[in-house]
C-alpha cells in the first residue's frame, strides 16, 4: 500500500450518534430548570444531524459539526442562566437568536480557529433551520 493511500472512511453509526444527543441536556444543565430547555434544543438539532448524515459528509466533518453543536447548545444554556428572562423563550427561538447572524455565540476559552469552526457550523445550521421552516 502506498504511503499516500487514505484509510477507508469508517461510517458513523446514526443510532449511536443520535443517542449521544440525548445525553446533552444533562451535560449542559447547571440547574434542573436547564434540562427542559436542553431537551428542546436537542429536538431542534436532531433533524440537522440527520441532514448532515444524509449529505454523506466525511465522518470527521460530521463529528466536527456535532461537537460544535454541543458547544453552541452549552453556550445557549449559559446565556439563559446569565439572563433568566430568556427562560420564557422557546428553545427554537433561543437557538435561532443565538445563530441569527450566521455566527455562533462566543464560546468561552475558544481559540480563533475553534470559534471559526463554530461559526461555520452555525451558518450551516441557520441555513438548514430557515430552509426547513420556510419550505
Residue 95 contacts residue 49 (beta carbons within 8 Å): no
CA gap 69, 45 in Å, rounded: 8
In a domain, 90, yes or no: yes
In a domain, 72, yes or no: yes
* pTM exceeds 0.85, yes or no: yes
Residue 76 contacts residue 95 (beta carbons within 8 Å): yes
In a domain, 7, yes or no: no
Instruction: Count the Cβ atoms, other than its own, within 10 Å of residue 98.
Output: 20
Residue 95 contacts residue 129 (beta carbons within 8 Å): yes
Tell me the residue range of the domain where 50 lies. 14-134
Residue 63 confidence (pLDDT)? 93
- What is the domain count for the chain? 1
Q: What is the mean pLDDT of each run of 10 residues along the chain (135 residues)?
A: 47 78 96 97 95 91 96 97 96 96 90 96 96 64
In a domain, 3, yes or no: no
From the number of C-beta atoms within 10 Å of its C-beta (0-12, 13-18, 19+), residue 10 rates as exposed
In a domain, 6, yes or no: no
Amino acid at each position: 500500500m502506498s504511503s499516500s493511500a487514505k484509510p477507508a472512511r469508517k461510517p458513523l453509526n446514526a443510532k449511536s450518534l443520535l443517542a449521544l444527543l440525548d445525553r446533552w441536556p444533562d451535560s449542559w444543565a447547571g440547574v434542573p430548570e436547564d434540562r427542559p430547555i436542553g431537551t428542546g434544543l436537542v429536538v431542534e438539532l436532531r433533524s440537522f444531524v440527520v441532514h448532515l448524515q444524509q449529505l454523506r459528509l466525511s465522518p470527521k466533518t460530521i463529528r466536527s459539526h456535532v461537537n460544535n453543536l454541543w458547544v453552541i447548545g452549552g453556550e445557549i444554556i449559559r446565556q439563559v442562566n446569565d439572563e433568566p428572562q430568556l427562560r420564557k423563550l422557546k428553545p427554537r427561538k433561543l437557538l435561532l437568536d443565538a445563530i441569527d447572524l450566521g455566527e455562533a455565540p462566543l464560546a468561552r476559552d475558544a481559540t480563533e480557529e475553534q470559534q471559526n469552526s463554530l461559526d461555520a457550523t452555525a451558518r450551516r445550521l441557520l441555513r438548514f433551520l430557515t430552509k426547513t421552516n420556510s419550505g
